[in-house]
Structure 1
């Protein structure tokens, strides 16, 4: 029996949702709680799980449709039920017919003579070897029509899985890996490294491993069965003609003869001994990112293929809808393969990178290079001792293939050449390597080339630190900034005697990294996107105004100065002014529960929160984060100071957990960190308010002692309190801030220091 799937409840006061993406298609099998689709509301983006297991029979609402809660959006049948049974019957009939035909054909062959049996066997073998899939250059982005192959990650004969990276491709907009669309054996590579291939062109063929092996055996049998005809037909069948593309079927490494005569593939080059597939590697998965978080978006890879990593050293940065964080390496070793690119959204538990043993990886590379050199030598030797009866056309094809290979110059051959020179004692320093290279610049991606042009960096003067000596983005930036010692010394001299039109410009509070943003258009990060959305939503859904009072913090300043050394020694954290304000605010929120509350405009209800959970606004390089001190009303000053230091440190170092950012009932923001005397903070619904702490500065004020007025220098600051007038009235706001002011000016915090 079919089950109707309805749009579920999406949260308090939410009556409808917009379908953004269907994660399943009609005919797909789904499990209970497996995500069916993604839905967006004005408050949250979320996935809708399947309430039952079965087959998705019908989709009743399309992407971008806005559907009310309770409306039917899909139909799921009982598990095992298909959308249509007629097709299955037809398939069964076809299978049965095919089996009958096979049986009859087998009977005919058994009755035939020996020549007929042999022909049938060859025909069967030929059909097996043709079971291959053409891999085409995929779509690489809007308006991108071609891509340049930078690196083949697999070799002919290697086994590949579905979605396993096959090669790296570079365009004028992005560098990316191309995954395999099917599982099987890489039979043929049709485009070499550094070739520029149009979208849709075939670049490789992947087939069945057994079929590929059978095909090779057939070729060998055919060549041995009749020697004379084989020689006569080589120029037509097994050898590429002058205008024909040289492929594995008609050539071998180092020669253009019949593949049966070619040298066999080295065992050490097979995929079974490739480091990426060895037992010495560890697959790193996307870890748990917090309660209810099922996926994360990779924002930045901090390491590249070939880099060494230590245990717990950051590998990449990941963003979720709740937090941005770094993912550490669970093991020590060398990064062998990156399985997910930047901006990819990866589910928890999915593999993202492969890390292996550093020494094993080095040995594997050395072995590969030595094998490449050995194979080249073997091919040359075979060419010299080759039968003189080979046709002139074959010799011309050999020369063409050899010339093509020499032009392509793979990274492995370059490395083996370099190692051979070093083994003969011809080692040279970095500058000598650059001189030996002459005017030949190693391959660089278009992005790196553009970056070099932008900074005026000569690529001939850079020694790449990437795999195979490839010049990377970091190499260009290091050269532009004077990364070597000579450049650093020159830069130091230049700084000693500043010149130029900006010599007298102030650099205080300036972030030099932001200079790179001038004249560019950047995609916003996840934090900026959420901040922008929530702030606009706040101003549109709440009635905000700001109440300001001036507070004398002189007594707090004196107390802090006196106890600071002892406090740091005992608790290991600094005692900041912010800790005093948070402590006073937590107490005031208990005394004024109408401020520690939330207003629901749809239900016309007010929720007075049991706990005081105070969010602390933290400025980070990625944007504004607000981690939460839970149950602040139960903490003393030392515990609050420690919580602030811990949350701020983890926020700036991307160590926050999603739970650290949820549950706030009120927020405190230190607007005075960059000298602000006054501000009007924007609250975060459904919170009723946010308190700002402005810069503390010495000012002359009138003080009254024993009825006598006098002018004194006091430590003063302003406290702007933004509140939602739907819930808090002006008088309530005044009473709340007055309570905080009184607590701060009295300065009686000795019992809360934990000393």
Structure 2
């Protein structure tokens, strides 16, 4: 029997939470085939099987937090069978002396009776994450009756919530004036408690918050990813003095270049040409001229570290929430190179194919909320960085321009707002203005060779 352990999940990551088992006891698994989904404070990722065989038992259930190197499941392989039977009859578990565990990610062990776990007792195909299972139980929904939209028909949280919404809508439509809904189903809020006397003073105990009417509120468990994002955003605001400055940029020349090169670029590079690599290239050029934005502040040691390279973190919207994969040495890439990298990390982020190491080490972050039509926002710094650039939507507007022949004239231009949030403990407003000025100059005079 081969023992699979929790693999190393990246630098500084010592444990992971099992989100879902993609294979169940009795399932055949091939080498490098996805075996389970694991969540860390960095990323959600699929763990492949280190060898082929048949899953014998699961040693950890979904929702368990498991340390790196700890056993998580047993797989029966032809290698383990031949190794046991090579020297004679297969020994019993009691007759085999205990040996110290091997340090490898997959260790060979003698088969022992597997202790049934909650994950192992479920039928094949019931791949339910903890949030999905809890939501289904609280809503009285049988997940086995649902048609899952996930991998291999797996039921996702959205599938359960869709049923909840349909049930709520059906209940609302069934109500008529002649048959109102009985209010008895709504728990009666407790009355306010009387004033409690405590010596000469009195303490007023406020009543509990009354519950909302049935169907007005939908409650669901907070996912691990959402909780991590929430904690990090609040911690970022508490850690640094954040200020946001804006600049308006004329992207007309970039828009014309994209339109003229779109088909040729796609055929040559295999990805679409968009505004994102242009903005990334301009942001990186500005970092080279203004190194204070490519730095890290450490007040405890009373020092500032300036990075020799620009490692660009790209904010990516995924089904599970926001992630920021890192493009290493992005300052050395051309617009075409950045287009390929941005497309690659974006696609792998949305399919949980990123490794934990790709989620750390960024020195500056770019978030493009303009792709969703947002004109401008005030992004929160991705700690321990000191700045983040937000790109707003590119829109056509009538703009007053100074023409050398016609003087002041009105023309239709492609305009966008860029927002820079920075750590005011290290960077002054004048520094931010200079950075944004360099960014605007780079974007309004794009390179000819893309």
TM-score bracket for the superposition, by shorter chain length:
0.5 to 0.7
Aligned to 1:731: 430
Note closer, same or farther for the CA distance 1:743–1:500 as it changes in structure 2 (3 Å cut): farther
Return the index of the structure with the highest Cα Rg. 1
Aligned to 2:72: 352
Question: Would you say the 8 A contact 1:596–1:687 is kept in 2?
Answer: yes
Aligned to 2:372: 674
3-state SS in 2 of match to 1:478: coil
Deviation track 1:457-491 (CA, whole Å, cap 9, x = no partner) reads xxxxxxxxxxxxxxxx5422239xxx9xxxxxxxx
Aligned to 2:294: 596
The structural deviation recorded for 1:500 is 11
Question: Would you say the 8 A contact 1:451–1:476 is kept in 2?
Answer: no
Q: Equivalents in 2 of 1:452, 1:518: separation in Å?
A: 14
**TM-score under structure 1 normalisation?**
0.41
Gaps of 5+ in 1: 1-280, 359-446, 456-472, 484-498, 503-515
Aligned to 1:613: 311
3-state SS in 2 of match to 1:709: strand
**Candidates 541, 562, 565, aligned match of 2:239:** 541
3-state SS in 2 of match to 1:594: helix
The structural deviation recorded for 1:517 is 13
Q: Does 1:305 align with 2:25?
A: yes
Q: Equivalents in 1 of 2:298, 2:2: separation in Å?
A: 50
The structural deviation recorded for 1:309 is 4.2
Deviation track 1:351-398 (CA, whole Å, cap 9, x = no partner) reads 32334579xxxxxxxxxxxxxxxxxxxxxxxxxxxxxxxxxxxxxxxx
Q: Does 1:652 align with 2:353?
A: no
Q: Equivalents in 1 of 2:14, 2:20: separation in Å?
A: 19
Deviation track 1:629-683 (CA, whole Å, cap 9, x = no partner) reads 1222211112111221221122222222222122222111011122111111011
Q: Does 1:475 align with 2:129?
A: no
Q: Does 1:641 align with 2:339?
A: yes
**TM-score under structure 2 normalisation?**
0.67
Q: Equivalents in 2 of 1:609, 1:348: separation in Å?
A: 31
Q: Does 1:341 align with 2:27?
A: no
Gaps of 5+ in 2: 79-132, 154-169, 174-214
**Candidates 603, 624, 627, aligned match of 2:325:** 627
Q: Equivalents in 2 of 1:554, 1:542: separation in Å?
A: 36
The structural deviation recorded for 1:578 is 1.0
1:261-410 matches, cutoff 5 A? 282-332=2-52, 334-356=54-76
Q: Does 1:559 align with 2:257?
A: yes
3-state SS in 1 of match to 2:352: coil
Question: Would you say the 8 A contact 1:598–1:727 is kept in 2?
Answer: no
Q: Equivalents in 2 of 1:709, 1:312: separation in Å?
A: 64
Deviation track 1:114-153 (CA, whole Å, cap 9, x = no partner) reads xxxxxxxxxxxxxxxxxxxxxxxxxxxxxxxxxxxxxxxx
The structural deviation recorded for 1:288 is 2.6
Aligned to 1:569: 267
Q: Does 1:519 align with 2:218?
A: yes
Q: Equivalents in 1 of 2:216, 2:343: separation in Å?
A: 31
Q: Equivalents in 2 of 1:452, 1:688: separation in Å?
A: 43
Q: Equivalents in 1 of 2:287, 2:275: separation in Å?
A: 19
The structural deviation recorded for 1:520 is 3.0
Identify, as 1 or 2, the structure richer in helix: 1
Aligned to 1:454: 140
Aligned to 1:746: 445
Question: Would you say the 8 A contact 1:298–1:341 is kept in 2?
Answer: yes
Aligned to 2:404: 706
Aligned to 1:23: none
* Range 634-643 or range 333-342, more displaced: 333-342
1:2-151 matches, cutoff 5 A? none
Q: Equivalents in 1 of 2:420, 2:244: separation in Å?
A: 5
The structural deviation recorded for 1:334 is 4.4
In angstroms, what is the RMSD of aligned CA positions?
Answer: 3.1
